[in-house]
Chain A
């Protein structure tokens, strides 16, 4: 039988107990069961799993190609293909084994009304939390169009807050001028947690055939290429979030335990893994054991103690003058 995870990996996130700080990210693991096809992979190794972005009605998503490899990253333009909230709740959630891990819904919409509708339906479902994706770069309406505007972000979050008692995690876009301001507005509007960051907008061109590789021309860049940006965004958001005790799922290019530690140090309470799974489906196990080794070697009692403990030497000039 399976051995449990080291108890020092346990974290509390938005009031939910997680067995590991490692969360499998939305859009990379389908609706929770896909990776269990691989022998040796277990959902128990993940603290939580974010399900694929879900909208009010079914969406077919974008035309092919939906993927392009970039240097140390990939560009995707899936376009929120999903069967619609009703099918997710009626047909998919009942098949998930909630004894293995926690499941978070991930919600998108073209209008504020659609966000409200989907969140309201998930409120009456078995998911542990609801992640609001206001940062999807791959749809024409809603998505990042909301997330890049702090007023609009706050409106969406506030509207969702009004219709659910479940924890809300707001997923922020890096494609905006002031992510910390956006985070502040979302916190004021009632979010319980923040996910930082979603993909960065990007493009790939085939020089030989002189066409864009991605069918819908542009897509979202993820993977190690975005890690330095993601670290900074988590650091910036943490300066605001810590004052309100709002936890962050740090994400963007995490592919090892040491990457995970870096995100925890700059302020993340938990860490998300997406793109790294494509190369190494067992990455979650690796990160868990790497984190335990790190705690052993550093004499740390619990992973939660690492959050925001980055050592800054002396005055940090020209870096951040926010309160």
Chain B
């Protein structure tokens, strides 16, 4: 007992009083929140999230994906949409407000060396982790061009600067892209069921399929999909991956209380080789192999 080794998971999540550095408000009740939280920022990786106290009046924290982290400057960015009481109260937090957070939490997306063609599919507030993945890919593979493509869908206006793309995406005629992606030379395209100039009119998975159709069987074999968004979109993404027989990692959402693995409140059903099991989105996920998740 004296030499018992404590699990490696100990002390991996930081509890910090973060300070609101800036809070930008976009159309359709979307917001980008920059928080000063040096410990979390220096550990954050693509696909992880924070568990944030949105307001002292609430009993539960709220989980939000990390969109971007700058360890050198000690901040992270979150992008969120107002959907209920917690996010509404969060939207009222002004610069200088102190918000306690737990972070960074969860398993990141895995960038497999043998799958260098990376297709990112994000929907709505599932876009933030896709931005983080794109930036990580660019950092780890600075000279890979024509290998990573991002497709983003939204039924409300995009809370990003959108511009005419100079980076071609095979099979796709829509020409609008996200500036942040363009700046790191990752071609991106947008989809919406609404009529938005420069965007593909339809589901984001249909847009991604236009691109997949142009890939040779050899290139499909070394492709992998990374996805985050609402459940129906994840379901369509999983089916798309099955149709083209490519691997697919998805980030899941579920209601959370503790976000440390303690309450079993956030479990989703995973069916692996050993049969069905319940896995916690917070610490076993939020990223899972799409083929194992019941959607």
Contact = CB atoms under 8 A, between A and B. Distances in A.
Nearest to A99: B1
B290 to A, nearest CB: 17
Secondary structure call for the A interface: loop
Interface stretch (A12-20, A28-36, A148-156, A182-190): A28-36
Q: Which of B61, B257, B264, B268 lies at the interface centre, i.e. has the most chain A CB atoms within 10 A of its CB?
A: B264
A34 B59 contact: no
A14 to B, nearest CB: 22
B10 A60 contact: no
Nearest to A276: B59
Given A28-B262, A40-B15, A64 B60 contact: no
Q: How large is the interface on B (under 10, 10 to 19, 20 to 34, 35 or more residues)?
A: 35 or more
A30 B6 CA distance: 16
B54 to A, nearest CB: 11
Interface stretch (B174-182, B199-207, B276-284): B276-284
A33 B4 CA distance: 13
Contact of A282 (B11, B15, B60, B267): B15
Contacts, number: 123
A312 B263 CA distance: 38
B13 A37 contact: yes
Contacts of B29: none
B197 to A, nearest CB: 31
A67 B281 CA distance: 13
A68 B277 CA distance: 22
Nearest to B257: A278
Interface in A259-285: 275, 277-279, 281-282
A78 B260 contact: no
A35 B260 contact: yes
B258 interface: yes
Given A27-B263, A38-B13, A39-B39, 8 more contacts: A30-B264, A36-B6, A37-B13, A38-B15, A61-B278, A66-B255, A66-B264, A66-B267
- Going nearest first, the 10 A-B pairs with the smallest beta carbon separation are A34-B262, A34-B261, A39-B11, A67-B265, A30-B262, A278-B257, A67-B255, A29-B262, A36-B10, A37-B13
9 contacts: A36-B6, A37-B11, A38-B13, A39-B13, A60-B277, A66-B255, A67-B263, A99-B4, A277-B258
Interface of A: 27-30, 33-41, 52, 60-61, 64-69, 72-74, 76, 78, 81, 95, 97-99, 223-224, 275, 277-279, 281-282
